[in-house]
Structure formats: C-alpha cells, structure tokens
Amino acid sequence: MSREQRGPNEKLGAVLALAGISNAGLARRVNDLGAQRGLTLRYDKTSVARWVSKGMVPQGAAPHLIAAAIGQKLGRPVPLHEIGLADADPAPEVGLAFPRDVGQAVRSATDLYRLDLAGRRTGGGIWQSLAGSFAVSAYATPASRWLITPADSSVAREVSPGEGSGAPLKVGHSDVQKLREAAEDARRWDSKYGGGDWRSSMVPECLRVEAAPLLLGSYSDEVGRALFGASAELTRLAGWMAFDTGQQEAAQRYYIQALRLARAAADVPLGGYVLASMSLQATYRGFGDEGVDLAQAALERNRGLATARTMSFFRLVEARAHARAGDAQAAGAALKAAEGWLERARDGDNDPSWLGFYGYDRFAADAAECYRDLKAPRQVRRFTEQALSKPTEEFVRSHGLRLVVSAVAELESGNLDAACEQGVRAVEVAGRISSARTTEYVKDLLHRLEPYGDEPRVVELRERARPLLMAPA
C-alpha cells in the first residue's frame, strides 16, 4: 500500500545517488530487512521508481526500512526527513536520548517502557518499524556524558497531588526491593532459557507496570538512588534479552536508558556494566574499535571503585573487542590483565549481585572466543576445555555457545569428527532454549563445514540442526 505525494521525491533520489544504491538494490535491501522481522515484502525496482519519480509513500514499516537500508550503506543513521518521508508515520526517537536533566531522564525511560509493550503485544509495533536501525554511533553521546558526569547531584522527586491521577505514589525501600527481586529472577531465567523464553518477556512488562509508576512517584534522594539503580538493572536486562533474540535496535535503546538510570543512581560499577554490555553488542555486530572504546569507558571511571572481579570482567570485554578488531597484541594484554584481576578477587569482596555469573569458567569461555577471532585454534581448545569443565545447569545458553566455539576449534585443527560431535551437542542445547545468538553461532559452524558437505557426520549434523534453523525468529 502507498499514498501519493505532490511531485517527485527529490530528496530520496539524491540520497540514493549519494549512497550508490540502485532502485533494484534498495528494493532488495528493504525486502531483506523486512524478512528479518517476519514481514513478507515484495518491492522491486518499479516500486522504488514510484517512490522517487511520483512521490509515492509506502505504508507501514517500509519508510523506516528504507531509511535503515540507506543508513547501512552510508554507515550512519538516516532520519526520515532526509529522504523526504517525514510525513510517514514517524519512527520515534524514544530511548535514544541521554538527557542531562533527571526529570527528562525519567520521562525518556518511561516513554520507552510504554512503547515496548505496544510492540510486543501486537507482534510487531515499533520494533518492526525500526528493523535494522542499530547504529553504533548512537552510543557516542551517552558514553561521553557518562564519563564527564557519572552521577547526578540530587534525584529527590516530589509530586504534587494535582500532577497525576489519584494520590501521588510515595516510594519506599520495600518498593525498590521488589524490583531487585524481579531482576534477580529474570537473570536466572535468561541464563537458563534464553532471552526469547516467555518468562523473559515479563521484564518489559515489569518495567511498564512496576518500575514506571515508581519512577514517576515521590521519593527522597536516598530512596531515589536505590530506585534508579534497580530500574537500571532491569532495563539493562531487557536490553540483554533483546540482544540475545536479535532485536538489536530495541537493545540499543534499553542500554542507553539503563546507563542514564545508573548515572542517576550514582552507581559507577553498574554504569560500567551497562557500557560493557554496549561493548559486547558493538563487538558482536562487527564494530570492534567502537567496542574497545566502550569497554575502556567502563574501565576508566571504575579505577579505584569497582571490585577486582568487576575490573576483570571489564578487561575481558575489552579483550573481546580488540580480538574482533584483529589486534592480537592488545587482546593478549587485556586478557592477561583480566586474569590478573580475577586472581586478586576474594570471596569476601563486595561484588555486585549482577556479577554472580562471572568466574574462571566465564573468563575461559570469552578467552576462547578471543582466540577464535584471532584464528588461534590451539588456544581456543585450551580455554574451551576449561570453560566446559564446570556443571551447566544454571547457565545453559553459555554452555551451548561454548560447545560451538569448541567445534570451530576442532574443525580448524583438522578434527572433523570431533567438530561434528561438539556441533551435535551444541544443537541439542540450542533446541532447549530461545536464543537467536546461539542459533547464529550454529549457523556459523555449518557455514564453516560447507567444504565437507558430503561427509556423513556433516550431513547428520545439518539434519539435526534443520528444525532449529527453520524455527521462527
């Protein structure tokens, strides 16, 4: 469906020329982005010609997909007004702002919580419209503002009786404790069942129904700091789950708001944890250099503040980014520093609750991925053996990822049978959880096995993986 504008869309034509995208190329990119969100689109070069020469405006998610497709080619976000489609249903910028003012920060976060509910309930909503719109450059302002001022001077809030519906909500420590308990429960479910499990989807609901009214209520500075911290934890979790299920654009917005809330909480280690999550996302998306910047931002403000175990994790995330960027020397130095910090950690340290997942097995697992990216299979095998040595009942998804990394190492060492054996085990684990990230790891393994496609063990693995790869995203 389309509606007609008056005259040609010269802006769209000019930006297409600047990006070097043909009509057929744009149509193909838009259809592909739509398919990633479960949309069946059949645009062709004639459709694009109508958009440009006749000013036709496609309906639904298409204008945002057009902007995303062009933005991917240009390497930067492309707003709708730049391509002459500003009068389409606007893709809100909700969640991308990092306001300086605390009151505006509350509005920014609560607006995002409300927006997400509409998307999940309808099976599309804004997240379909924003398909493919992740832009690593959107992290620049939040990271720099957090580095400059990692804490607000005061977050106390007093709501007058006439400002909202009913009596103003007075927030206390018991309200904050409920949010912290919800975050702890969500962390356990996410590790065991993946970000796409139905129980994980309750996190956005909790943010809308529980956290938002509290943030908009009245509280002292002390209670407010705790409230912002608990809300930041839940918001980061929502981002992590979105990241795990392939909703990169949603994850980015949650992460930005989580960092702003951590600043209001004056919780520098938590802010560093959010930055580390941003770094892992950037690294996963192929932006190694930007991943290094974000990890180093986490480290910089936490010197002398965070526990040894926390600093170890931040250095480990930095190593992941260096490895993705192809810098073996820097990755090795960061890994050595991460191991050194971990050796200094003691059971009596006041580690944050959100770091409960991190120990030597997680260090070994990420070290293995570093060496996988650096194409050093011997080191991958060594660290993967350590990572797989512990029980996995609590961290099922991590176990699946480690098995795939192990399979890749075996393959690169020339051990096809061992690679397929580990691959079969990984597929079995992946079938028990809902994690787009784990599925992508399996796809990568199968791609690496294509030269051995006629081998019986490879054929068996591919058949076992078929239901997983055909499952809806």
Distances (CA, A) of 286 to 19, 131, 291, 313, 445: 21, 18, 9, 20, 17
468: in domain: yes
The reported pTM is 0.78
The SS3 of residue 188 is helix
Among 83, 108, 126, which residue terminates a domain? 83
pLDDT digits (tens, 9 = 90+) for 257-298: 999 999 999 999 999 999 999 999 999 999 999 999 999 999
Q: Which residue has the higher pLDDT, 208 or 130?
A: 208
pLDDT digits (tens, 9 = 90+) for 428-454: 887 777 778 888 888 989 999 999 888
d(CA 343, CA 292): 23
Q: Does the pLDDT at position 322 exceed 70?
A: yes
242: in domain: no
318: in domain: no
Q: Does the pLDDT at position 367 exceed 70?
A: yes
The CATH number of the domain where 11 resides is what? 1.10.260
Q: Which letter, b or e, does each residue of 80-113 get, where b requires 16 or more Cβ atoms within 10 Å of its Cβ?
A: bebbbbeebeebeebbbbbeeebeebbbbbbbbb
438: in domain: yes
Residue 450 belongs to domain spanning: 359-473
pLDDT value for 198: 41
The SS3 of residue 290 is helix
Q: How many domains does the chain have?
A: 2
Under a CB-based contact definition with an 8 Å cutoff, are residues 57 and 51 in contact?
yes
Among 49, 66, 83, which residue terminates a domain? 83
pLDDT value for 119: 45
432: in domain: yes
The CATH number of the domain where 394 resides is what? 1.25.40
Q: For 137-144, what is the mean pLDDT?
A: 93
* pLDDT band, very low/low/confident/very high, at 118 (cuts 50, 70, 90): very low
d(CA 52, CA 45): 11
pLDDT value for 56: 85
Q: For 202-212, what is the mean pLDDT?
A: 89
Average pLDDT, the chain: 86
258: in domain: no
pLDDT value for 263: 97
pLDDT value for 345: 95
221: in domain: no
Among 63, 83, 103, which residue terminates a domain? 83
pLDDT digits (tens, 9 = 90+) for 9-59: 989 999 999 999 999 999 999 888 877 655 678 899 999 999 999 888 887
452: which DSSP letter? G
303: in domain: no
Strand partners for 2? 58
